Structure 1
Amino acid sequence: MPDPGLSPARSSLPEAAARFGAYVLADAAARARDVQAATGGPAPVPAAPAASTPLAPPAPLAPPAAPASPAPLPVDVTVPGAGTSGADLGRLLRGPSGLGTASLRLVPRAEPPVPVDPTVTPTPTPGIPIPGLYFHPVPEPDPVRVEEVSRRIKAWALDEVDLYPDDWEEQFDGFSVGRYMVACHPDAPTVDHLMLATRLMVAENAVDDCYCEDHGGSPVGLGERLLLAHTALDPLHTTQEYQPPWAESLRSDAPRRAYRSAMEYFLREAGASQADRFRHDMARLHMGYLAEAAWAQQDRVPEVWEYLAMRQFNNFRPCPTITDTVGGYELPADLHAQPAMQRVIALASNATTIVNDLYSYTKELASPGRHLNLPVVIAERESRSDREAYLKAVEVHNELMRDFETEAAALAAACPVPTALRFLRGVAAWVDGNHYWHQTNTYRYSLPDFW
């Protein structure tokens, strides 16, 4: 019998999409049958949810109990001006702009002409974008939502988790996290959903600052601190005798309190696979922290490729990867795990992190000690001037961005499942919002004089 040879290579994305579509239809039919059997009549149409009171603070940590279905996140209180207008909906449907993004949009992109009123002087966007950097401008984030998120996150930081002392208040305000998260999540249905991302962002920065960087951080003993902090996200399952000291350890310092509280809020909305995905990405982040700490202890500048490998772990990935939870929907685990989706997420996260390297360059040069960032590593390892190294880092970012958009467009064409398309648009929106925040945060960042 002749050897049939290898089967033709094919993508598993269409198969995964078909399985998901069949699952959705079967699940909907089963739910309808269950309702009909229980009531003796047709399945009822759900009523519109009523406005709710704000979220209560997380309950005190208790020993693990039998798992229960998480309560759905309450519908947000009405925020004037925070609804999705026709213009906002059109912008969301159009999706991102730029090379390779046409198939990420649900309708053809057609920018309407903007009427100009000669009597009105427009308010300029603060900050100067890096010359030559490939990015997409975004509209100014909704000021009402920005104000509400900023108010809530400060109350959480001060009153719920006692995150920082009084003399850090200016730095906390200067971080402008409300503007950051509103810009990055334009499709969040409510402020409550935006707060899921905002608390996690603030908690992650507290760990970075207090364990690794500016506020008492050190590479010495970092692994132990990160491991214990990670148990606030991925709980310890131990004996009754040793559970209380672990629970007490989560209250022992600000970063762990912040991780624990932010994660408890997140679990009220996230599905099981979304929560596990986030824990995995945070473990990636912590592993990246440890690689950078090892270089600091060795007083070693890595090769450029080694630095980029570290930055694929020590990067923003936990933020865009929760875009579906913040958007109030779920990308199925089977689609999230596809290699093509993982590549898109990795490229987006790598590009956004190089944006941080570029905008924080002068800030880090002015800080004590040697801070590794892509321009510094390129200058050292490729014997380039500071200017040449910085401009080379801009080129690296631009290539990553264009690869992200090309791969995302190909994935959207291969897997046109609505949740996958929305997730890809959400990641693209996060990439654009991240650049907007870095460009406009003149409290933290300024550009080098290389042009």
Structure 2
Amino acid sequence: MPDPGLSPLQSSLPAAAARFGAPVLANAQASGLEAAVGARPVLPAGRALPSGPALPFVPVPAAGAVPVDVPVPGVGPGGDLVAQHVREGAAVVKRQSPVLERILRGPSGLGTASLHPARREEPPAPVEPEAPAGTPIPGLYYHPVPEPDPARVEEVSRRIKAWALDEVELYPEDWEDEFDGFLVGRYMVACHPDAPTIEHLMLATRLMVAENAVDDCYCEDHGGSPIGLGGRLLLAHTALDPLHTTNEYQPEWAQSLHSDAPRRAYRSAMEYFLQEAGPSQADRFRHDMARLHMGYLAEAAWAQTEYVPEVWEYLAMRQFNNFRPCPTITDTVGGYELPADLHAQPAMQRVIALAGNATTIVNDLYSYTKELASPGRHLNLPVVLAEREGLSDREAYLKAVEVHNDLMHEFEAAAAALAAACPVPSVLRFLRGVAVWVDGNHYWHQTNTYRYSLPNFW
């Protein structure tokens, strides 16, 4: 006898709406999908789509459960891989019924195009698959991605260099090779394959370059120092979160935003971002940048006192000093918006935090030899593990790989659980976007042989 699937008599969405707030239903309706049981999606023109069976019950996994095969449709190049890695780690919840899979894929057919996310300005050019440059870390859990669209990479690379040189005067001539070696165009195209236009990609690219300039010039290689860092970061942050003061002092602050390269870059990148982002998206980004700056300050304080943190303390610092501001803007870059009440939910915050933590440990691992070759002592997870747990350099590095893998599995389980509990279109697309960013970030670290090389531990 065939498996009849889960009971169609009830829906989890009313319960999900109670947990996530009434705006979930409004968001679903605005996207053309009714959250009520058995209701029919309505096109913007008012023409109803054919009704389908009632939405089957979706169990909310218990704490610690790892859902299986939550259907999350792919977006853009490599979408199938994106769907796959949100489902990986499947172990507890049974496969969802075909009805739920169809509903989570969204409406299709004549007249439904307006119900789907923003389209690309041009179809992706067919690209012959080729092995990416660089060697992935043996034993590291990651998902390969297709080579990013070369036409987009070239155009983003051209525009970002023109912005850096002509608009914000970001770096002197002798830094040009290093800027080119950063390969930021390839980085951002790999991380945001669903961006509808080049200009959407540029939103993320300018912010990434500006953040890197602040890190280099204030904290790291190019004149950075822990001494006085708090004051520099605070003033730079006002380029993102503007000062509201009296008429007497406002001009002095405005003039200060042009006083050094990091502040010029922050100011300009944020101005472009505000042209596309909604108010809640902009405020979300400011909040995550404040988190980043607080992480910078913790690391600087430890450097000044020559303190090597406990492993859990280091991981706490890395939850703030990490890539979180990048995947959190995936909806702005994708041309849509995850409503603020959904973004703020603890389950979504956990997904975003785990994604940021995992991607940052990727940076620790790939930049390990680069940091060892730099002046001074650099804290990274292998260094802290070696110091605090009495491990050899090799043992510490391999354990750091395990920590990364555990974080990745936690991220994927949390994303799958949230997709099952709240299958609202904007939630599903945002989860896909964050997952794509995680994979694109690894791809860039693996393939950027100009910056990174692996230790000889295998």
Match of residue 215 from structure 1? 222
Deviation, structure 1 residue 161: 0.2
Aligned partners of 2:350, 2:212: CA distance in 1, in Å? Answer: 25
Match of residue 342 from structure 1? 349
1:13-92 counterparts in 2 under 5 A? 13-15=16-18, 19-24=22-27, 89=76, 91-92=78-79
Match of residue 175 from structure 1? 182
TM-score (norm 1): 0.79
The AA in structure 2 aligned to 1:404 is F
Match of residue 306 from structure 2? 299
| Partner of residue 210 from structure 2, selected from 203, 224, 235 | 203
Match of residue 138 from structure 2? 131
2:329 corresponds to 1:322: yes
Higher deviation after alignment, 209-218 or 18-27: 18-27
The AA in structure 2 aligned to 1:15 is A
Deviation, structure 1 residue 97: 2.5
- The answer to whether the 8 Å contact 1:250/1:257 transfers is yes
| Partner of residue 95 from structure 1, selected from 82, 100, 123 | 82
Deviation, structure 1 residue 125: 1.2
Q: Residues 158 and 226 from structure 1, CA distance in 2 versus in 1: closer, same or farther, beyond 3 angstroms?
A: same
Aligned partners of 2:18, 2:169: CA distance in 1, in Å? Answer: 49
Match of residue 267 from structure 1? 274
2:429 corresponds to 1:427: no
The AA in structure 1 aligned to 2:322 is N
Aligned partners of 2:214, 2:393: CA distance in 1, in Å? Answer: 30
Deviation, structure 1 residue 100: 3.8
- The answer to whether the 8 Å contact 2:129/2:147 transfers is no
- The answer to whether the 8 Å contact 1:307/1:377 transfers is yes
2:370 corresponds to 1:363: yes
2:423 corresponds to 1:416: yes
- The answer to whether the 8 Å contact 1:282/1:318 transfers is yes
Q: Residues 401 and 28 from structure 1, CA distance in 2 versus in 1: closer, same or farther, beyond 3 angstroms?
A: closer
Deviation, structure 1 residue 22: 3.6
Aligned partners of 1:434, 1:90: CA distance in 2, in Å? Answer: 15
2:431 corresponds to 1:444: no
Aligned partners of 2:181, 2:438: CA distance in 1, in Å? Answer: 21
**Consecutive unaligned residues in structure 1, runs of 5 or more:** 1-10, 30-42, 46-86, 108-120
Aligned partners of 2:191, 2:146: CA distance in 1, in Å? Answer: 11
Aligned partners of 2:170, 2:78: CA distance in 1, in Å? Answer: 36
Aligned partners of 1:370, 1:436: CA distance in 2, in Å? Answer: 27
Match of residue 233 from structure 1? 240
Deviation, structure 1 residue 25: 7.3
Q: Residues 172 and 182 from structure 1, CA distance in 2 versus in 1: closer, same or farther, beyond 3 angstroms?
A: same
| Partner of residue 149 from structure 2, selected from 142, 159, 165 | 142
> Which ranges of 4 or more aligned residues in structure 1 deviate by more than 2 Å?
11-18, 20-29, 87-98, 100-107, 121-124
**Consecutive unaligned residues in structure 2, runs of 5 or more:** 1-13, 33-43, 47-73, 106-127
The AA in structure 1 aligned to 2:413 is T
Deviation, structure 1 residue 24: 4.1
Aligned partners of 1:395, 1:28: CA distance in 2, in Å? Answer: 40
SS of the aligned residue for 1:126 comes to coil
Q: Residues 25 and 387 from structure 1, CA distance in 2 versus in 1: closer, same or farther, beyond 3 angstroms?
A: closer
- The answer to whether the 8 Å contact 2:239/2:263 transfers is yes
TM-score (norm 2): 0.78
Match of residue 254 from structure 2? 247
Q: Residues 91 and 236 from structure 1, CA distance in 2 versus in 1: closer, same or farther, beyond 3 angstroms?
A: same
- The answer to whether the 8 Å contact 2:355/2:408 transfers is yes
Q: Deviations over 1:21-43 (max 9, x none)?
A: 442478799xxxxxxxxxxxxx9
SS of the aligned residue for 1:130 comes to coil
Aligned partners of 1:90, 1:252: CA distance in 2, in Å? Answer: 41
The AA in structure 2 aligned to 1:237 is H
Aligned partners of 1:365, 1:25: CA distance in 2, in Å? Answer: 50
Q: Residues 250 and 17 from structure 1, CA distance in 2 versus in 1: closer, same or farther, beyond 3 angstroms?
A: same
2:383 corresponds to 1:376: yes
- The answer to whether the 8 Å contact 1:273/1:333 transfers is yes
Match of residue 52 from structure 1? none
Q: Deviations over 1:125-179 (max 9, x none)?
A: 1100000000000000000000000000000000000000000000000000000
Match of residue 163 from structure 1? 170
Q: Deviations over 1:370-420 (max 9, x none)?
A: 000000000001110000000000000000000000010000000000000
SS of the aligned residue for 1:127 comes to coil
Q: Deviations over 1:329-355 (max 9, x none)?
A: 000000000000000000010000000
Match of residue 37 from structure 1? none
Aligned partners of 1:442, 1:345: CA distance in 2, in Å? Answer: 28
SS of the aligned residue for 2:438 comes to helix
Deviation, structure 1 residue 94: 6.0
- The answer to whether the 8 Å contact 1:223/1:290 transfers is yes
- The answer to whether the 8 Å contact 1:180/1:437 transfers is yes
- The answer to whether the 8 Å contact 2:130/2:147 transfers is no
The AA in structure 2 aligned to 1:95 is V
